[in-house]
Each structure stands twice: as structure tokens, then as C-alpha cells.
Amino acid sequence: MRRFKTRITDLLNIDHPIVLAPMGGISGGTLAASVSRAGGLGLVGASYGERAWMESELAKLGAPGAPWGIGLVMFTVAERMDLLDLALSHAPDVIALSFGDPAPFLPRIHAAGAKAIVQVHELDQARAAADLGADALIVQGAEAGGHSRQRSTFPLLPAVRDLVGEDMPLIAAGGIGDGRGVAAALALGADAAMLGTRFVACDESLASGRHKQRLVAAGAAETVRTRAFDIVRGIAWPEPYSGRAIANGFSRRWAEREGELAGAPANVRAHYAEALAADDLDFRAMWAGEVLDIVRDIRPARRIVEELVADALDTISGFERLLAPQSHDARQRESAA
């Protein structure tokens, strides 16, 4: 198979410019290892830093034999930096940081010999992370599943590229679900693509079978942006952020009543916790992005990586058909020049 060579494949020593989004409760050790062994970068989604979960999933990772990493949500881990120490104790090649101030994290990550990649959603965040010494940036748009701000990926991506210059490796995230999206991201200045929703629907993801089937049956029009799922779980997300999920009975009841939900009686949270434990899809959050329309089956992670790369290469090669044949006169003028 032909291969891409980008700033990200060079920086991280990976074969393909494909990155697994570190989705909490979804991107466990088995999935991350599968993506890494397929030539991409697998990231374990440690998210909010539940220590027991981290230890369990990192044990499942084993020895991937290829670069891998861990994703951390900064605004929660900043209050428990021992969780960063736990992550670094497993010698990851990469720590992916999102949602918060990277300043306290970068020196410790670099001192441990790992690369630090920082997710950004606005130009000011990109400039700040670059100035602090991030090794790469994840440029995430609002098309993504889970949490984001308001900017769309493809207008934001070239603006970040212009801002930070050609040397900073960029990873595009949000609205990418197949090889066409990967090719589009590369054309707009990215060096790799990060995918989440596509990898929820794979054999190795930690989503339940019912969850995966619901995802592949849903369409983008069924998603909703809301803070309701965070409020009921008691997670104090910073104000600019909300999450995109598949709408269900819980979101339909509370999405427009978030203020009321914040003061709801304890039994509402208890009911949600019970629904989560029971995998009740009418109550629990199912984070998913706008790529739902093109995610239509459940496959092994390796096959997804291979098809993403093959289809991206085919898409880029196919652009040549858009070029009109050069006329004889034009060829002569070009030769004379």
C-alpha cells in the first residue's frame, strides 16, 4: 500500500496519519492497541481520570509494539496531578491534552520523554499552546461528537495553519468519518485526522452492542448539543463547551431546561446513574458527531484504519481527473518559459 508522509507521521513515528480520539469509556486499552498496531496512533481515553478505570485499561493495552498514548481532560486532572503521574508511569509516547490550561502539564510530560499534543478550538488557544511548547495541536470543530465549542473544523483548520506556520504539526478533529474526510483535512493544512464516532462503531470499542447498533442506525439530524448530560453527572464543564450526542428521552426532557436540571432533586441523578449502569439508551449519553450519516457498520479497528488510508489515497489521486488536458499551445509556452 502507498503511504502518507506528514509532519505527524514523522513526529510520532507512525505509519498512517490516523489518530484514535481518546473517548472516555470507549477508547480503552484494547482499542488503542489495535489502532496503534494498524499503523495509526491509539489513544486511551482516560478523560476525567478515574484511577481504577485507567489502571484496568492500561493493563489491557499490553505491549502494543507501536507508538501509543493517553488522553486527559485538563480541567479535572489539574486538580489531581497524580493521575498525570499514573499515566506517565506507563511510558506512553504521547499525552493528548484537552479542555483546560496546558501550562502545568507540558514540562512534566516533556521531562518524562513523551510528546504533548494539545486540543484547541479557537485561534487564541492555538497560539497559546504553540507558545507554551506543544509538540502538535489537535484542531477540533463543533461537528465532533462529545464536547466542543462553536467553530467548524474546516474553516478553523486553515486559519490555525496560517497562524502557527508550516512547522507545527496539526491534527484535524470533528466531521471526519471516512477517507474523503481525511483527504480534505490534509488538503486544508492538517498532518493527520482524529476520528471518534467512526471508532465507536468498531469491534474493540467499549461501547455495548446495543450502543453500537443505535449509533449505526442514527443520522446526524438526530444529534443534539446540550449540557444536560454533564449537569446530571455533576461534571462542571467550562461555560463555552457543550456536548453533541444522539438525542434520547433524557435529552428531550432536559435539553431546554438545563437551569432547572441543575437544581433537580437527587433522585434524578440517582435515576440517571441507574440508567447508565443498565445501559438504558433512552437515558444515558451516547456522544456522536455529524459523521453519523456515513457510519453504517461495525468493523474491526484495523480494517477501519486500512480503509481510511486507502480511500484517502484514492481520493487524492482522483483529483487528477479534474485537471483539463493541457493544450499544445500551453505546453509550448510552458517549455519556452
d(CA 74, CA 59): 23
**Residue pLDDT, tens place only, 96-122:** 999 999 999 999 999 999 999 999 999
Nearest one of 68, 69, 88, 77 to 47, comparing CA atoms? 77
Domains and their CATH numbers in the chain: 7-207+296-318 (3.20.20.70), 219-277 (no CATH)
CB 231 within 8 A of CB 261: yes
| H-run or E-run covering 217 | helix 209-217
CA atoms in the 13 A half-sphere facing the CB of 155: 6
pLDDT score, position 333? 67
The predicted-structure confidence for 243-252, as pLDDT tens digits, reads as follows 999 999 999 9
For residues 68 and 32, is the Cβ–Cβ distance under 8 A? yes
Task: Give the tens place of pLDDT for each residue, 291-332.
Answer: 999 999 999 999 999 999 999 999 999 988 888 877 656 666
pLDDT of residue 290: 97
Buried b (16+ CB within 10 A) or exposed e, 193-211: bbbbbbbbbbebbbbeeeb
pLDDT of residue 332: 64
DSSP 8-state class, residue 201:
T
H or E segment to which residue 160 belongs: helix 153-164
* Contact indicator for 63, 114 with CB cutoff of 8 Å: no
Angle at 299 between CA 218 and CA 154, to 5 degrees: 60
Torsion over CA: 295, 300, 301, 305 (sign)? negative
pLDDT in tens, 142-161: 999 999 999 999 999 999 99
Residue 107 main-chain phi, psi, to 5 deg: -60, -40
